[in-house]
Amino acid sequence: MLLEWAADYLAPYVPLSRGEILPAMERPPKPELGDAAFPCFALAKRLRRPPGEVAQEVAEKMRHLGSEVRAEAAGPYVNLHFSPNVWAVRLLNKVLEPGFGTSGAGQGKRVVIDMSSPNIAKPFGVGHLRSTMIGNALANLYRASGYEAVTVNHLGDWGTQFGKLIAAFTRWGDRKTLERDPMRESLRLYMKFHEEAEEEPELEDEAREWFRKLEQGDEHAVSLRGFFVDASLKEFNCVYSRLGVSFDYVLGESFYNDKMSPVVELLAQRGLLEDSDGAKVVRLDHLELPPCIIMKSDGTTIYATRDLATAFYRTREMGADRLLYVVGAEQSLHFKQVFAVLDMVEEGWSARCEHVAFGLMKFDGKKMSTRRGKVVFLDDVLNEAVRQAEAVIEAKNPTLLNRRETAEAVGVGAIVFGDLRNSRMLEIDFSLEETLRFEGDTGPYVQYAYARAVTLLEKGMAGAEEFDEPAPEALSGRLAWECLKQLAGYPEAIRLAAEQNEPSVLARYLLDTARQFNRFYRHERILSTDREETHARLMLTAAVAGVLKNGLELLGVKAPRHI
């Protein structure tokens, strides 16, 4: 917001449009250097003059502006200083406006987000957290940016994995055990299948035969698959409920079974299919990519075929303008191939598609694997996080009402924020102890700053009417002004997070906002005997609380009022 105002002030004094000035504006690294900075390098190149000389000239031209804004040259930069006595109240009123931070940038556009997508009959592990919560945060960020965001849970509910499970259950399973604890028993059977298959490779043929029977409607196979699907969805939905995640569509891979033949026919009509050792492929030599397999030598389709059908359906039936796939970085080659084939079918497809990749989540430095049984159930982690959060809360505030509910919000929020604070492409070595700290770069730190602001508001506003117009001098102190400037960056944090598909931009912004508020709280008395000063600083506190709460909710983290 301050950068926009700075661009408005600069526009009459430089031979550039506001649209050229604004993207170049910067925030100075130190408060003493001003509130906004304009680098003169590009302008100096256009004018064929030294940048420092151009900066000095622009600053001289702006010298008559008076007390509202002061311009000074600092080498090749024009630094602008906004007077807090004039601008603090204006800034605060903007932050307190309803809908602050939202925009209409995506108005009239629909984005479909493929997220979460766990496999049926496999546990919902800590590793699934990333796709689920990155996708959920992106949906919220896009909605805040004016888009219609549609979320799709693309369940892995078809494929040879079911042949393996049915084969394993038929050999070693027990219905009562399966019904008592379906997810853990499914995992045991899946692991046993792979262990036994190492000694008895013909088990793989047996699994393929069971999957063939499933495709042909065998009663036993269909019944077992139905049980696995129902039991898995029940388990998944319990986890989603705790995470506060919902979907507009839950469409598994099986939904597209009847939509793949038309895709194969279309590729054949376009002359894109070639034979390769009995398989049907689309060659991508022009992009230096391996061929994209469309049909295997046994005549069955593969993931790429299904994802092509999915892209057509989401565009033509769901009306998507953009398609996002929140899937691990290990699938990068697959999506490059799929997007390339889409482009060959119709030019421009890849511009609508984006693979929102993310790094692995490890546990104690080890990669998780369902096949090897190296899985940490997310529900177990959430339970332990809530247990530890409740212990901390009890020590800090033993009289707190709704302690269990608050612990749930803090524990689950810590896990979610602990993931989203990291740039999504980084590998994460999950640490529960690190995630639950109330100090440092954690969710509880931001939640606690919000709860502190709420407590101040409740104490300060007890028995009072609505806020009066704030006294400018009460907000002109250095830390109050720095806090206001930090709040002014909220719309930009949302914009950048959405543009970059990077929720960590918003998470880091919230951490910085909480830190700035805590500095203000510690050094500038908020509740004092001076009524005007108290009300002005309570208004700033309300603005902080609003931004922290809204920002946490965009990330999918609850903001309890008391901790």
Residue 95 domain-assigned (yes or no): no
From 82, 104, 123, give the residue that closes a domain. 82
Q: Are 144 and 291 in the same domain?
A: yes
Inter-residue long-range contacts of 281-289, CB under 8 Å, 24+ positions, other chains counted? 282/341, 282/344, 284/337, 284/340, 284/341, 287/336, 287/340, 289/333, 289/336, 289/337, 289/340
Q: Are 385 and 343 in the same domain?
A: no
| DSSP SS3 for 177 | helix
- What's the start-to-end Cα distance of the chain, in Å? 32
Residue 55 domain-assigned (yes or no): yes
* Nearest C-alpha neighbor of 551 from the set 424, 449, 408: 449
Q: Are 358 and 383 in the same domain?
A: no
Q: Are 307 and 386 in the same domain?
A: no
Q: Are 77 and 149 in the same domain?
A: no
Q: Are 395 and 357 in the same domain?
A: no
Q: Residue 275 phi/psi, 5° resolution?
A: -80, 140
CA distance linking residue 493 with residue 36, whole number of Å: 16
**b/e map 192-212, b = 16+ CB within 10 Å:** ebbeebeeeeebbebbbebbe
Domain that holds residue 231: 112-363
Residue 522 domain-assigned (yes or no): yes
Residue 94 domain-assigned (yes or no): no
pLDDT in tens, the chain (563 residues): 899 999 999 999 999 999 999 999 999 999 999 999 999 999 999 999 999 999 999 999 998 887 789 999 999 999 999 999 999 999 999 999 999 999 999 999 999 999 999 999 888 888 789 999 999 999 999 999 999 999 999 999 988 889 999 999 999 999 999 999 998 899 899 989 999 999 999 999 999 899 889 988 999 999 999 999 999 999 999 999 999 999 999 999 999 999 999 999 999 999 999 999 999 999 999 999 999 999 988 777 888 999 999 999 999 999 999 999 999 999 999 999 999 999 999 988 889 999 999 998 876 555 545 445 466 788 888 999 999 999 999 998 999 999 999 999 999 999 999 999 999 999 888 777 888 888 889 999 999 999 999 999 999 987 565 667 888 889 999 999 999 999 999 999 999 999 999 999 999 999 999 999 999 999 988 998 888 899 999 999 999 999 999 999 999 999 999 99
From 33, 65, 82, give the residue that closes a domain. 82
Could you tell me if 323 and 314 are in contact, meaning their C-beta atoms sit under 8 angstroms apart? yes
Q: Are 437 and 412 in the same domain?
A: yes
How many Å is the Cα radius of gyration of the chain?
28
DSSP string, 498-539: HHTT-THHHHHHHHHHHHHHHHHHHHS-SS-S-HHHHHHHHH
* pTM: predicted TM-score of the whole model, two decimal places: 0.93
- CATH number (domain holding residue 510): 1.10.730.10
Q: Are 461 and 542 in the same domain?
A: yes
Q: Are 506 and 449 in the same domain?
A: yes
From 82, 104, 124, give the residue that closes a domain. 82
Residue 107 domain-assigned (yes or no): no
Q: Distance of CA 448 to CAs 153, 421, 479, Å? A: 32, 16, 20
Q: Please identify which residue in the block is written with the tokens 């196979």.
A: 221
Residue 562 domain-assigned (yes or no): no
- Residue 113: enclosing H or E segment and its boundaries? strand 110-115
Q: Are 128 and 72 in the same domain?
A: no
Residue 371 domain-assigned (yes or no): no
DSSP string, 266-289: HHHHTT-EEEETTEEEE--GGGT-
Q: Are 11 and 57 in the same domain?
A: yes
Q: Please identify which residue in the block is written with the tokens 């080498």.
A: 75
Q: Are 486 and 523 in the same domain?
A: yes
- CATH number (domain holding residue 77): 3.30.1360.70
DSSP string, 55-70: HHHHHHHTGGGTTSEE
- CATH number (domain holding residue 239): 3.40.50.620
What's the structural domain count of the chain? Answer: 3
Residue 219 domain-assigned (yes or no): yes
